[in-house]
Amino acid sequence: MSGRRISDRGRIDRSRSISFRFDGKSYSGYVGDTLASALLANGVALFGRSFKYHRPRGVLTAGIDEPNALVTVIRNGKREANVPATQLEIHDGLVTESQNRFPSLAFDVGAVNQLAGSIFSAGFYYKTFMGPVVGPLRGTRFWMFCEWFIRRAAGLGRADHAADTSRYQRMNAYCDVLVVGSGPAGLAAARAAADAGKNVILAELDPVPGGSAKWSGETIDGKPAAEWASGEAEALSDHDNVRLLTRTHVWGYYDGNTLAALERVGDHVASAAAGAPRHRHWVIRAGTVVLATGAFERPIVFPGNDRPGVMLASAAQRYAAEFGVLPGKRIALFTNNDSAYVAAAELSAAGAEIAAIVDTRQVISAGARDLAAKAGGELLLGQAISATNGGKALAGITVQRLDPVTGTASGAKQTIPVDCLAMSGGWSPAIHLASQAGAAPKWNEDLQAFLPPEPAQPWLGAGAFAGDTTTADTLRSGRNAGMKAAGGRASRAQAAKLDAPQLDPFPAPVFEIRSAEGKSGKALVDHQLDVTAEDVRLAHREGFLSVEHLKRYTTLGMATDQGKTSNVPGLAIMANARGISIPEAGTTRFRPPFAPVSLGSLAAERFGDVSPDRLTPMHDWHVERGAEMMPAGLWHRPRIYSLPGETLEQAYVREAKTVREGVGMVDVSTLGKIAVKGPDAAEFLDRVYTNKFSTLAVGKARYGLMLREDGLVLDDGTTWRLGENDFLMTTTTAAAGKVMQHLECLLDVHWPDLKVALTSVSDQWAGAAVSGPDARKVLERAVKGTAVDNETLPFMGIVYGEVDGAQVMICRLSFSGELAYEVYCGAGHGTHVWEALLAAGEPFGILSYGMEALGTLRIEKGHVTGAEIDGRVTARDLYLDWMLSKKKPFVGSAMMDREGLVDEDRIRLVGVISLDGLPLGGGAHIVEGDSRAEPNESIGHMTAFCYSPVLAKYIGLALVKGGKARHGQRAFIADPLRKRYGPVEIVSHHFFDPEGSRIHG
C-alpha cells in the first residue's frame, strides 16, 4: 500500500482483504472498496485514456457520473466494457483492464493525436476526407479508406463476439410510493410513507444506503450522519411494507408512472448463486414517486483541468470519509462556493495536508472562513488556477488573480506543488428522471443550476434534487414528500436535529477560467470526449448556437456519463459567447437511461429465449421420426422426413408421390381454428366472407375467402357448419391471429348488435390430413362409429366417429387435390390418433409428409397460400372472382373495384413450367427476354416452385403482369442472386387435374 489508506474512516471492512487485478497487475483492497478507491489506495493515479486525444486520465468523481476512469471487466473470459471504476465493487478474482490505449496505458501511441489538437477541432471531419471527385478514389472510397483508421482509433472498450453466458431477469413491481435515492431526503421520505402504512420501494444505486450521509461528516440527531443513515435503513427494512433495493439505479421514467430500474445482483460477488440473475430489470408501477436523487457536483473548466489527480471536491471527501483513502497527500482546493470548505476540513481531519484553498470569490462566508482555518493551508481569495503541471499525475498548480468580469486569470503566478486538486464548480440537481417524465427544467439564478420542471406525472421532489442546500432542509422536504405521497399533509416541524456549520449555499457564477496568456493547456468541458472550451467557442463561431447543435457538432455531453459533469459548464460557455443568459441558451431534455444499462437486462428472460416455441400435439413424434423441422411463425413444423442420404428434393418428391399414388398424412394442427357461435353466426360469416355461408347445410364445410376493408385479400380457409348456430372457421397458420383480431374488431366495434361469440380453439384440436387415392381405405380401417363412404361422407361433408377409442371429427377436404380427409381429435389424443391412422394405413404404404411435399401438392393444384396472398393481391389477381358474391355486401366489397385494383397492368396468378429442366427458385423474377447479359424489366415474380412428380417437370406459381393473357407464352426467369436464368412457359396455375375429378374419387 502507498500509505494513502487511513486507519479509522469509511465503511470498508479492514478485516477482509481482497485481491484483484488491473492491467495484469495484482492489487489488494478491502470489502466495501470500489475499484477506484482501491486503486487510489494503492497509489494509482492513471486510470485511462481520453477518447480523441488519448490524454492520460485519472478519476474525476466517486460515483455514477464518472467520465474518465472506465475499465473493462473480464469475468469467465467475457468482457464488459466501459464500467466506471467508481461503480465497480471489488471482489476476489476481479480482473479489470484499462481502455482505449495501445500498447499500454502508460505509453499510448494514440496520444500523438494531441500534437494535432488544433486540426482535430470540433467538427473537423465534416470539412475533409471527401477525397477526389474523379478517379479510383471517387465517390465514397477515399472517405471509407480514412474511416477505417478513424473507427479503430475511436471507441472505448472492446466487446466480445462470443455469447454472453449470464442470465438476466425481469421483475414486475407495484407500490404506492417509490422513493428514488436513499440519502437523507430519501430515507426521510421512505420513513414517512412507510409509517403511513403505504407500500414503499426505496431504490439506492450504491451498495449501501445513506447517500451523502455516508461521507458528509455531519451530525444528525446527535449521531454521525453515516450511523444515523444506517439506523434509519435498518428500521425501514424491519417494515413489512418496505422493499429496499440497493445496487439499483432507477434509469427510466415512462408514462403511467412506470419506472425502470436496474439491480446489479451478481456483479459484486465472485460467483452468482444458482439461478440468480446477473442483473434484474425492475419495472415499477408506482402510485407516487419521490425523487430524492441528490445533486452532482460540477467541475470548473480551466487549463489543464483533466490531469490525473484533479477531481471533484466531493469525490475527494468521499474517498476519505467513505472509503478511508486519501486521494492525495498534499491537496489543494479550487472552488466557487462554500461546499468545498467542508471537503477541505474533512480531508484535513482525515490526515491530508491542505496546501491551499483557491476561491474565485473575493468574499466568503464566516462559516467557510472557519472551515478554512480548520483545514489549514493558504486561503487564496479572488484567485483562480490557470494551469496545472505534472506528467501523467498532478505535480502542481499555477494560481493567478481572477478578473471576475472576464473570467480571465492574469498577473503574478504562484505555483503550488500538490498531488491532488479538489475542485467544486457548484452543484447540479440530478433532475434526469424528472426531465424524462415531462417538461423543460427551470434555471435558478441563486443556485446557478437547473431545477426540476413542474411534474407532468405524479412525482414529488425532495432534498438536493429539489434545490435544498442544507441537510436540515433536505430532511424536512424528504419527510414532507413522503407524507404527501402517502396522501397526508406536509409538516413544518424540524425533521431531525442537525449540527452543521452556517454556510453560503450559493455559488459564484463562475464556470470557466481563461488564462490571459492564451495557450496554457486544454480546458476540458467534456472530459471523456475531449471537448474543450475552445471547441464550444468554435461551434459558436460557425453558427452552431442551439444547445442541440452544440452537442451534435462538438459531441459535448454524448459520452458514457451523458454530460452529468459537462452539460452546465458547456452551456455556460456558449451563453457567454453569445452574450446571453444560460436559460436563454437553452437546456437539453434528458432521455432514458439515466445511467447505462446492460442490453441483456432489458431482454431479461427473453435473452436466450427470444420467442416461445409453439408445438403441435404430434411434435415429439415428428422429432423422434427424424423430421427436419422448420419455423412457421412461432410454430415448428416438419419440413421433410428424409431417409438416409436423401436430398431435400428427393425426400419431398418421394413424399408427394406417395400421396398421389397411395396415401400420405400430414399434421395440420397449426391451422387457425375459431369457434363462431351464436344465433347471428351465419349472418356474421356472410358479412366477413366474400361468399355466402348462411346457405351452408349443417354437417358441411365450405371454402371461404376474406378481404380486408380496403378490398385486398386477407385470408382463405374452410369453415364448417357443425350446428345451426355453430361454425368452426379455419384460417391459414400464419394469419390466424390477424383474422381473429379482424373479426373481433368488426363484432365488438362495428356490429355489437350481432349475437356472435368468437373463441380461438386452434389448440383444442389436433388435425391430421389423410390424402391420396387410398385415403378412404385407411379411414375405413381406422374409424369406428361412422361410415366414410361417398354417400355418408361426400366431398365437404363432416362425420363424427372414433379412432382407437378417441373421438374424432372428420371433414372431407382436399388441399392436395386428392381424395382427402381432415381428421380432427382432441389435442391430448393427437399422437394416439395419429399413430392409429398410420397403423391403419400401413397395408397401403402410408407415409407422413412434411411442408415441402404439402407445398408441391398444392402448387400442382394451383392452390394459393401466404406466398401468393401477400397483402398486395386482389381476389381477381388470384382468379378467385367466382368467390365474390354479387348478392350481398361483404367486408371489402365496396373498395375492391377501385381503379388501381382492377388495372390491366396488375400482376396476376399464373403457372410456370421450366423449359430447360432445371429448378426455378422461389424469389426469381419473370422477364420477357433472356436477361443473362442485360437486365430486363421484371414483369412479375415466382411465388413458389417445386419439382412436380406427376408432371416430371420443375413447375411453379408466379404473379405476372397480364396473368391469363400470357398463358402459352414463353418467358424467362431471372434470378441474378443465384445466377439462374432460363426459359419458361407461362401456363394455367391449375397444373394437375383441373376438373378436380380425383378429389371426388
Considering only residues 281 through 320, tell me which ones interact with other proteins, judged by CB under 8 A: 281, 283, 285
Nearest to 590 by CA among 548, 530, 543, 528: 548
Measure the CA–CA gap between 26 and 24, rounded to whole angstroms.
7
ω into residue 103 within 30 of 0, thus cis? yes
Q: Determine the interface stretch with other proteins among 423-431, 482-490, 555-563, 789-797 (rule: CB under 8 A).
A: 555-563
Please identify which residue in 22, 296, 450, 635 interacts with other proteins, judged by CB under 8 A.
635
604 binding other proteins? (CB under 8 A): yes
Residue 694 in the binding site for other proteins (CB under 8 A): no
CB contact at 8 A, 55 and 334: no
Region of 299-307, 413-421, 547-555, 988-996 interacting with other proteins (CB under 8 A)? 547-555
Identify which of 453, 441, 447 has the alpha carbon closest to the alpha carbon of residue 470: 447
Q: Residue 762, interface with other proteins (CB under 8 A)?
A: yes
Contact positions with other proteins (CB under 8 A) in 442-461:
456-457
Q: What angle do CA 750, 751, 756 make, to 5 degrees?
A: 140
DSSP string computed for 195-215? HTT--EEEE-SSSSS-GGGGT
Cell of 871: 397483402
Nearest residue to 180 (alpha-carbon basis) of 458, 441, 460, 443: 460
Burial (CB count within 10 angstroms: exposed 0-12, middle 13-18, buried 19+), residue 802: middle
Nearer to other proteins, 141 or 497 (CB): 141
- Segment interacting with other proteins (CB under 8 A) among 211-219, 705-713, 773-781, 984-992: 705-713
179, 201 in Cβ contact below 8 A?
A: yes
Number of Cβ atoms within 10 Å of the Cβ of 326? 26
Work out how close the CB of 559 gets to other proteins at its nearest, in angstroms, rounded to a whole number.
8
Least separation in angstroms between CB 925 and other proteins? 5
**Binder of other proteins out of 367, 509, 583, 826 (CB under 8 A):** 826
**Helices marked H in 269-383 — which ranges?**
313-323, 339-350, 366-375
Residue 197 interacting with other proteins (CB under 8 A): no
Choosing from 13, 19, 107, 127, the residue that interacts with other proteins (CB under 8 A) is 127
In angstroms, what is the minimal distance from the CB of 106 to other proteins?
20
Q: How far is the CB of 868 from other proteins (least distance, A)?
A: 11
Distance from C-alpha of 531 to C-alpha of 604, rounded to nearest angstrom: 36
Q: Which is nearer to other proteins, 639 or 776 (CB)?
A: 639
Binding residue (CB under 8 A) for other proteins from 137, 615, 839, 913:
615
Name residues contacting other proteins, limited to 793-822 (CB under 8 A). 804-806
Amino acid at 372: A
**Per rule CB under 8 A, is residue 650 in the interface with other proteins?**
no
Please list every residue from 390 through 429 that binds other proteins, using CB under 8 A: none
**DSSP for residue 441:** -
Binders of other proteins in range 78-107 (CB under 8 A)? 78-82
What is the SS3 assignment for 447? coil
Q: How far is the CB of 707 from other proteins (least distance, A)?
A: 10
Using CB under 8 A as the binding rule, the residues of this chain from 232 to 271 that contact other proteins are 252, 254-258, 260
- The C-alpha cell at 833 is 390418433
- Which runs of E-coded beta strand occur in 711-846? 713-723, 726-731, 757-760, 765-771, 783-784, 798-803, 806-811, 820-826
The answer to the question of residue 378 lying near other proteins (CB under 8 A) is no
According to CB under 8 A, which residues from 464 to 503 bind other proteins? none
Among 90-98, 204-212, 420-428, 600-608, the segment contacting other proteins (CB under 8 A) = 600-608
Question: Is 751 an interacting residue with respect to other proteins (CB under 8 A)?
Answer: yes
CA 450-232-247 angle, to 5 degrees, is: 60
712 part of the interface to other proteins, by CB under 8 A: yes
Quick check: 881 binds other proteins (CB under 8 A)?
A: no
Pick 273 or 493: Cβ nearer other proteins: 273
Quickly tell me which residue has 355486401 as its cell.
889
Contact region for other proteins (CB under 8 A) — 131-139, 226-234, 309-317, 779-787? 131-139
Q: Report phi then psi at 10, rounded to 5.
A: 95, 170
Task: Please report, as residue ranges, which positions from 662 to 681 form the binding site for other proteins (by CB under 8 A).
Answer: 675, 677-679
Q: Interface with other proteins includes 937 (CB under 8 A)?
A: yes
- Helix (H) / strand (E) element for 40: namely helix 35-41
Residue 120 vs 703, nearer CB to other proteins = 120
Q: Give 479 or 540: the residue with its C-beta nearer to other proteins.
A: 540
For the bound state, the minimum distance from the C-beta of residue 984 to other proteins, rounded and expressed in Å, comes to: 15
Q: How far apart are CA 65 and CA 564, in angstroms?
A: 6
Cell numbers standing for residue 235: 428500521
User: Which of residues 27, 168, 727, 991 is near other proteins by CB under 8 A?
Assistant: 168
- How many angstroms separate the CA atoms of 917 and 914, rounded? 6
Cis, bond preceding 593 (omega within 30 deg of 0): yes
Q: Which of 223, 239, 755, 932 binds other proteins (CB under 8 A)?
A: 755
Q: Site residues for other proteins, window 891-910 (CB under 8 A)?
A: 894-895, 898-901, 903
In this structure, the chain runs to a length of 1001
Shortest separation between residue 108's beta carbon and other proteins, angstroms = 14
Region from 384-392, 443-451, 542-550, 911-919 binding other proteins, contact rule CB under 8 A? 542-550
The span from the CA of 778 to the CA of 640, in Å, is: 22
Candidates 180-188, 401-409, 744-752, 909-917 — which segment interacts with other proteins by CB under 8 A? 744-752
Distance CA 575, CA 529 (A): 21
Nearer to other proteins, 270 or 373 (CB): 270
Binding flag, residue 555, other proteins (CB under 8 A): yes
Q: Which position has the grid cell 467508481?
A: 86
- 835-854 positions binding other proteins, by CB under 8 A: none
Query: What is the distance between the alpha carbons of residues 339 and 336, in angstroms, rounded to a whole number?
Result: 9
Q: Which of 866, 962, 996, 1001 binds other proteins (CB under 8 A)?
A: 866
784: nearest Cα among 803, 809, 798, 769: 803
> For other proteins, which is the closer residue by CB, 620 or 789?
620
CB under 8 A: which stretch of 177-185, 490-498, 698-706, 919-927 binds other proteins? 919-927
Rounded to the nearest whole angstrom, what is the least distance from the CB of residue 140 to other proteins in the complex?
Answer: 5
Considering beta carbons, is residue 159 or 373 the nearer one to other proteins? 159
**For other proteins, how many residues bind (rule: CB under 8 A)?**
189
The region of 371-379, 616-624, 693-701, 984-992 touching other proteins under the rule CB under 8 A is 616-624
CB 512 within 8 A of CB 569: yes
Region from 106-114, 220-228, 556-564, 770-778 binding other proteins, contact rule CB under 8 A = 556-564
- Please report, as residue ranges, which positions from 345 to 374 form the binding site for other proteins (by CB under 8 A): none
Of 159 and 363, which CB lies nearer to other proteins in the complex structure? 159
Q: Residue 611 Cβ, how far from other proteins at the closest point, in Å? A: 6
Query: What does the DSSP assignment read for 484-549?
Result: HHTT-----S--S-EE---------S--B-EETTS-S--BEEETTTTEEHHHHHHHHHTT--SHHH
Q: Of 579-598, which residues contact other proteins (CB under 8 A)?
A: 591-593, 596-598
Strand partners, 909: 959
Q: CA-CA distances (angstroms) from residue 27 to 30, 81, 308, 516?
A: 10, 20, 19, 43
What is the closest distance, in whole angstroms, from the C-beta atom of residue 124 to other proteins in the complex?
6
